[in-house]
Structure 1
Amino acid sequence: MLTNLDVTELTAFRRELHRKPELSGEEVETARTIASALGALNPSRILTGLGGHGVAAVFDSGTPGPTVLFRAELDALPIAERNDIDWVSQHPGKSHVCGHDGHMTMLLALGRMISRRPVAKGRVVLMFQPAEEDGSGAKAVVADPAFAGIQPDWAFAIHIEPGRPFGYVSTCPGLINCASLGLGMTFSGKTAHAADPEDGLSPARTIAALIPALEAPGQGGELDDDFRLVTITHVRIGEPSFGVAPGEGEVYATLRTSGDAGMEALETQARALATSLAEEAGLGVSFQVCDHFAASINHPEAYEVAAAAMEALNVPYGDAGVPMRASEDFGVFGWNARAAMLCLGPGEDYAALHNPDYDFPDDLIPVGSAIFERIARDLLGSAS
């Protein structure tokens, strides 16, 4: 259990993290700060540089048993904060407006409790993941050779989710967050004088035909196995000019599906469509993939463990608002472990994530860390 002094110190720590946000792949100082705070808890070992700037603390009981991983995220967003608070971001154009500063602090709170009262068997791993916001961090962490030494049997994460009552947890077995992928398509032709467009090769009509054709198989709807959603997020044709017929253009589309297999099929379909239209027009086409998130699927056993922990703590929970179309870079941890994501409410009228006036509510630190601790105790017990 956290003391009042713990909560005061952890609140101050969270606010210091909030002052110094770092973007995906740039979390050097954040990782150093986390590693230093973990060192004071005397874990069995600390791993740094995982998948980039990832940090993990291992609390090993010394007795055989499962490995239980709890994950938080290191990175912030490229959003200028607009908050009148003493701990507002000191880094212009960057801010922790997705709650990652609070998630990190909940893990440190868990570390304090495990340090004081070790588990009876197995291991607890506190995983601070880099580059969550662009979907590259979890894959890089899991692919890191050092991760094999802490491969978990169970994995859990909490993400704050506005729109829910304070302290209410939304979760469910099965799909919790959709898979998504950003697909950039660049078409190349030949510029010409606007008076003689026939002397060039414009991608304008190809792109005009591509947009509705891309959207057709991805109309959204119910979040079942057949869910597909294609969102056009950016279109550019040529340069701003009245004298030049364009010779190049690009389209950005975000693809969403309810599973990784569906994403592979939808991406293949989108690429084939763009390639076919380009070939018909004599254009070249190239592709770029960004922000590729695996689907987050709650394992039924992990869900049951989390549900039992919340019932024991009298934490209200249910399936309000889940599954979600939005993506989360946690699903990869569930590829080889029983995993569950929990969405913790800050209040129904709380500022939305990624809004410039969002700030993590510090009163949730003891709530989230208590859920984590109960899960750890239920799976690993407590040393006498």
Structure 2
Amino acid sequence: MSTIQDIIELRHNLHQHPEISNREKQTSARISEFVQRYHPDKTIDISHTGKAFVFEGKNPGPTVMFRAELDALPILEHTDVPYSSQNSGVSHACGHDGHMSMVAGLAPFIAENRPEKGRVVLLFQPAEEVEQGARDVVESAAFTDIAPDFIFGLHNIPGIPKGEIVLRKGTFSAASKGMIIRLTGKTSHAAEPENGISPVRAIEQIIHGLSEVAENKSAFNDLALLTIVHIRMGEVTFGTTPGDAEVMVTLRAYENNDMQKMTRLAEQVVEKAAESERLQHVISYVEDFPALENDDQCVDMLEDAVRKTGLAFGYREQPFKWSEDFSYYTQKYKGGFFGLGSGTDQPQLHNPEFNFPDDILGAGMNIFQALYKMLLT
């Protein structure tokens, strides 16, 4: 049976060797080496670098899955810990090293308490940071074979007291997507702008039109937010009028229906502006996260598990504005996602000074263990 010190050492090892999305080969190997000590019945390669470890029960029952993320971020670490990142420019500045360690830490507990019924799956997913990770997993044939009846996950939350649990029914975190608008006209000499087709006025219309969409609160059920994050137009030259442009916008909403409506309205703004200024236009999307919608039954089970552990907890009034690709699981399966406080003085996520606190590893594992006992023993 592993001790908490073994789990801490695993986290430090993972923290020291971070890898970016879909390149987590060594991370996956380190997780596999740890979990294999506890003899899972099946080990399944899934998506790019993902792993699923299956522990079979003695009798028929539900498939219960616990998910963690493998990837780190392209952020240079600024901590003075002895196990700081050895991969220059890459660090676990979001705490996925801690999430992985808590899910892997279930393996020794399961080995000592084999499921009486059903099966448990420990899932380690690539590429959470770039959105397609969970989607690739859910769409893979390998996942279909181990499709869960219930899936659970967590994220550490800076600003919340250490070990305190954050619950919410319905939307836990927002839908978001990156909208890329490409406009194409025709360059001309800057002395003869009438001979060109410039995107300048179209960009003005798009900025104004998108602002109107976002400000029309009555059109949406809940939060709907449009943020223009980047505009590029023409080339850096004083002799030529611009003939093309690119506008990047982040769309964010608490409800998937609102996201669909906001997307449609934003596209209409772009189409109208492009047509009025005789421009060709192409719209594409990146980092498309649905809203993470918790299943009520799963949240009830989470509350029961938290009460059994004796940890402090509370229900959040509003969803978080950030996005999380666990939403791809909850679109198809009953899921429960919760927050784990990582400290009121903890640096924020994606901060180069972020380092997951070891003293909350036990809290997350205790909740997972309580869920496991509730559903599989």
With the length of structure 1 as denominator, give the TM-score of the two structures. 0.94
Aligned to 2:40: 43
Deviation at 1:221, TM superposition (A): 7.5
CA distance in 1, matches of 2:348, 2:317: 14
2:176 paired with 1:174: no
Report Cα offsets for 1:24-69 as digits up to 9, x if no partner. 2222221222222222220110111x22221111111131001111
Query: 1:223-265 CA distances to partner (integer Å, 9 max, x unpaired)?
Result: x833211111111111222222111111111111122232222
**Structure 1 residues 123-142: aligned runs within 5 Å:** 123-142=119-138
Aligned twin of 1:112: 108
Please say if 1:25 is aligned against 2:4.
Answer: no
Q: Report how far residue 339 of structure 1 moved.
A: 0.9
Letter matched to residue 138 of structure 1: A
Task: Report if the CA contact (8 A) 1:217-1:228 is conserved.
Answer: no
Aligned residues: 376
In the alignment, what sits opposite 2:214?
218
1:12 and 2:6 equivalent?
no
* Aligned counterpart, 2:344: 348
Structure 2 equivalent of residue 147 of structure 1: 143
| Structure 1: gaps of 5 or more residues | none
Q: 1:267 aligns with which of 263, 268, 275?
A: 263
Report what 2:65 is aligned to.
69
**Aligned equivalents of 1:225, 1:77: Cα separation in 2:** 34
* Equivalent position amino acid for 1:344 in 2: L
Give the match for residue 362 of structure 1: 358
Whether 2:85 is the aligned partner of 1:101: answer no
Secondary structure in 1 matching 2:186: coil
2:209 & 2:297 partners in 1: Cα distance? 41
**Contact 1:170/1:322, CA 8 A, preserved across alignment:** no
**Could you report, residue by residue, the CA deviation over 1:327-368 in whole angstroms, capped at 9, with x for unpaired residues?**
111112112322111100011121100111001001111110
On the 8 A contact 1:78/1:94 being kept in 2, the answer is yes
Whether the 8 Å CA contact 2:57–2:118 is kept in 1: the answer is yes
CA shift, 1:81, in A, is: 1.3
Give the match for residue 81 of structure 2: 85
**Sequence identity of aligned pairs in percent?**
38
Aligned mates of 2:320, 2:179 — CA distance in 1: 21
For 1:12 and 1:209, locate their aligned partners in 2 and report how far apart those are by CA, in whole Å. 55
Q: 2:214, 2:165 → 1: CA distance?
A: 30
Of the three residues 228, 233, 253, the one matched with 2:249 is 253
Query: What pairs with 1:178-193 in structure 2 (closer than 5 Å)?
Result: 178-193=174-189
- Runs of 4 or more above 4 Å deviation: 219-222
In the aligned structure 2, how far is the partner of 1:76 from the partner of 1:120? 36
The amino acid of 1:254's aligned partner reads: T
Do 1:109 and 1:366's aligned partners in 2 also have CA atoms closer than 8 Å?
A: no
Question: Is the contact between residue 170 and residue 321 of structure 1 (CA under 8 Å) also seen in structure 2?
Answer: no
Say whether the 8 Å CA contact 1:17–1:101 is kept in structure 2: yes
User: Shift of residue 220 of structure 1?
Assistant: 9.4
- Residue 286 (structure 2) aligns with: 290
Mapped partners of 1:90, 1:212: distance in 2: 46
Separation in structure 1 between the aligned mates of residue 6 and residue 318 of structure 2, nearest angstrom: 33
Residues 321 and 351 of structure 1: CA distance in aligned 2, closer, same or farther (over 3 Å): farther
2:293·2:331 contact (CA, 8 Å) conserved in 1? Answer: no
Q: Classify the secondary structure of the residue corresponding to 1:184.
A: strand
Within 2, Cα distance between the matches of 1:69 and 1:52?
A: 19
Alignment match, 2:231: 235
TM-superposed CA distance for 1:131, in Å, is 1.1
Q: Does 1:327 align with 2:318?
A: no
> Is 2:315 aligned against 1:315?
no
Q: Distance in 2 between matches of 1:21 and 1:39?
A: 21
- Indicate the SS of the match to 1:88: coil
1:193 and 1:39 map into 2 onto residues whose CA distance is 67
1:206 to 2:228 alignment = no
Counterpart Cα distance in 2 of 1:288 and 1:95: 30
Change (3 A) 1:322 1:124: farther
- Higher deviation after alignment, 142-151 or 33-42: 33-42
Give secondary structure in 1 for the equivalent of 2:236: coil
Structure 2: distance between partners of 1:291 and 1:8: 37
> Aligned partners of 1:351, 1:201: CA distance in 2, in Å?
48
Once the two structures are superposed, residues 68-87 of structure 1 have per-residue CA deviations (whole angstroms, 9 ceiling, x without a partner) of 11110011112121111212
Question: Which stretch shows the higher mean deviation, 9-18 or 66-75?
Answer: 9-18
Aligned equivalents of 2:120, 2:14: Cα separation in 1? 23
Q: Counterpart of 1:64 in 2: which secondary structure?
A: strand
Q: Secondary structure at the match of 1:119?
A: coil
8 Å CA contact 1:51–1:144 kept in 2: the answer is yes
Tell me the distance in 1 between the aligned counterparts of 2:279 and 2:38.
60
